[in-house]
Amino acid sequence: MQSNPQLNANGELRHLLSIEGLPRDVLGSILDTAASFVGVTEREVKKVPILRGKSVFNLFFEPSTRTRTTFEIAAKRLSADVINLNIAVSSQTKGESLLDTVANLSAMQADLFVVRHGSSGAPYLIAQHVKPHEHVINAGDGRHAHPTQGLLDLYTIRHYKQDFSRLSVAIVGDVLHSRVARSLIHGLTTLGTPEVRVIGPQTLLPTGVESLGVRVFHDMREGLRGVDVVVMLRLQSERMRGALLPSAQEFFKHYGLTAEKLALAKPDAIVMHPGPMNRGVEIDSSVADGPHSVILPQVTFGIAVRMAVMSMVAGK
Amino acid sequence: MSVLPDAERLCAQLIAELKPLVGPNSAMIGLYTGGVWLAERLHAGLALSAPLGTMDIAFYRDDYHKQGLARDPKRTQIPFPVEGRDLLLVDDVLFTGRTVRAAMNELFDYGRPARISLVVLADRGGRELPICAQHCGAKVEVPADMRLRLRRGDDGELKLELERAE
């Protein structure tokens, strides 16, 4: 078996590139560590000294406000120095290669690179070329993975439902373009979730999605019946080329989450969404703001999860 | 090698020593893991009104750059305002003093206590920082290559043990 580029010789987390391939005990350890950081984020002084003197470079080759901001907050709460680089509008447009950009930042004494890139695999490429004391966290690469979002989803589910071993989780909507869905499916199956369902039109589900160990539903009502957790995905209209869908209204009619459809899930079901939400496209406002929604706690937990990942990799 | 003192007897002795000193402004924080076990006993024995606080100093350690983050740190929980309190900080064994340094740094991120007193079951010497215990069950001589630690049996009984340092 090929060695896992995310782990060091002792099996400890050195980079976070994907949830796929992370052993169950490492996943559990990240979630446990995040729980301790939730305690820090609830204090008056929301800062610990652990990454004092370390430099975290946020390399965003693709625009993102929420993810970049939460990584920035997480790094600052760990006392690191944070440098935000919006590369979409910087040297890459002048023709510099990805690895040249990284080599230059490395010469500025970087310790940790947080990378968001439109191409799948870009964070892997960087991880292969960084120095031993440098670390890479994937903040979303193409359609491939968004591991910290997947981890914060797992954290949120564990927070509200405690145990994965009896859960039924439905992931609804544009699975095809969603790196979040892929990361979450891998995490849920690794942690022993017996039932993971994906619900969406054939055109928005990747071919062979069943091989990830999920049940596929095209009828949303049927798919939501009896589930404990509903994860709504954003309809990524900016990634769509060609006619995958008739219209947003048509999508909402079939795959938008309304109170009436949610009533088919368990009475204590939780509703999640990675954001940013399209109200009236994939989720009705009354559900997004309703009693089942844990969408805003997800954002808060996301900071603690990113603190956990950063502090775990940067020490190895 | 001398026989290790009886942890249960030291615990009773510390309760007797602290009893006349605690008041309505007193509160207690135990340090994971052995310090929390000891603090649970002292807290009950002294009948303190403020609930017991527990602390894991993983995010304040001074060896992070060498050792990385400790595995599965516990969540620090201090269920009372630290500001202006008379605090008893409890650990099982006092050695280099580095844990206590980290604990005091973490404490001040919760507020400014009126006073912090250090309570330990055993002091094995070997200090690397200017820290001392105000209340100490016993001084114990321990060979340099050994580790002294508190154990808690299934019946809840506390016991000091020596093991090889890793």
**Least CB–CB distance from A50: residue in B59, B74, B109:** B59
Interchain contact, A43 vs B75, CB within 8 Å:
no
Give the dihedral sign, CA A168/A155/A189/A66.
positive
The mean pLDDT of chain B is 95
Band of residue A48 on the pLDDT scale cut at 50, 70, 90: very high
CATH numbers and ranges of domains, chain A: 24-145+300-314 (3.40.50.1370), 147-296 (3.40.50.1370)
Other beta carbons less than 10 A from residue B40's beta carbon = 18
Rg for chain A (alpha carbons), in Å? 19
pLDDT band at B14; cut points 50, 70, 90:
very high
Answer yes or no: is pLDDT of B26 > 60.
yes
- Beta-carbon separation of B68 and A315 below 8 A: yes
Mean pLDDT of A8-15: 92
Return the beta strands (E) in A109-220 as ranges.
112-117, 135-141, 168-172, 195-199, 215-217
Instruction: Say whether pTM exceeds 0.90.
Output: yes
Q: Which pair of structure tokens corresponds to residue A12?
A: 């400890």
Q: Copy the structure tokens of residue A93.
A: 């447009």
Q: Which range, of A243-247, B93-97, B144-148, averages the lowest pLDDT?
A: A243-247
* Mean pLDDT in residue range A14-38: 96
| pLDDT value at residue A316 | 74
How many whole angstroms separate alpha carbon B102 and alpha carbon B109? 11
Mean pLDDT value across residues A229-239: 84
Whether the CB of B74 is below 8 Å from some CB of chain A: the reply is yes
Return the pLDDT at A94: 62
For A49, which of B60, B110, B111 is closest by C-beta distance? B60
CB-nearest to A36 from B67, B73, B110 is B73
For chain B, count helices (H), then strands (E).
4, 7
Mode of pairing for the β-strands spanning A229-232 and A270-272: parallel
Is residue B63 over pLDDT 60? Answer: yes
Least confident of A35-44, A222-231, B38-47: A35-44
> How high is the pLDDT of residue A86?
80
At A28, the pLDDT band (50, 70, 90 cuts) reads very high
pLDDT at B120 over 90: yes
Shortest CA distance from A39: residue in chain B: B75
Q: Is the pLDDT of residue A235 over 90?
A: no
Q: How much is the average pLDDT of B20-34?
A: 97
- Render pLDDT for A76-108 as a digit per residue (tens, 0 to 9): 999 999 999 887 666 566 667 888 888 988 999
Mean of the pLDDT values across residues B5-27?
A: 97
**A12 chain-B contacts, CB cut-off 8 A:** 68
Residue A307 CA to residue A313 CA, distance in Å, equals 10
Average pLDDT over residues A118-146: 93
**B25-50 average pLDDT score:** 97
**Which residues make Cβ contacts (< 8 Å) with residue A142, sequence separation at least 6?**
A117, A118, A119, A120, A121, A122, A179
What is the C-alpha to C-alpha distance for residues B66 and B73, in angstroms, rounded to an integer? 17
> Does position A227 have pLDDT exceeding 80, yes or no?
yes
The pair of structure tokens assigned to A267 is: 């009475």
B106–chain A nearest CA distance, Å: 8
Task: Look at A29 and B67 and tell me if their CB atoms are within 8 Å.
Answer: no
pLDDT number for residue A1: 39
Name which of A283, A286, A262, A261 is nearest A274 in CA terms.
A283
Residue A60: pLDDT over 60 = yes
pLDDT at res. A44:
87
Give whole-number Cα distances, A150 to A101, A165, A305, B10, in Å. Answer: 27, 18, 10, 49
CB contact under 8 A, A36 and B65: no
pLDDT mean over B68-93: 95
Identify the pLDDT of residue A113. Answer: 97
- Residue A154 identity: L
* Percent of all residues in chain A with a pLDDT value above 70, rounded to a whole number: 94
Mean pLDDT of all residues in A206-232: 95
A149-193 confidence digits (pLDDT tens): 999 999 999 999 999 999 999 999 999 989 999 999 999 999 999
**Structural domains of chain B in order of their starting residue, each with its CATH number:** 7-60+76-164 (3.40.50.2020)
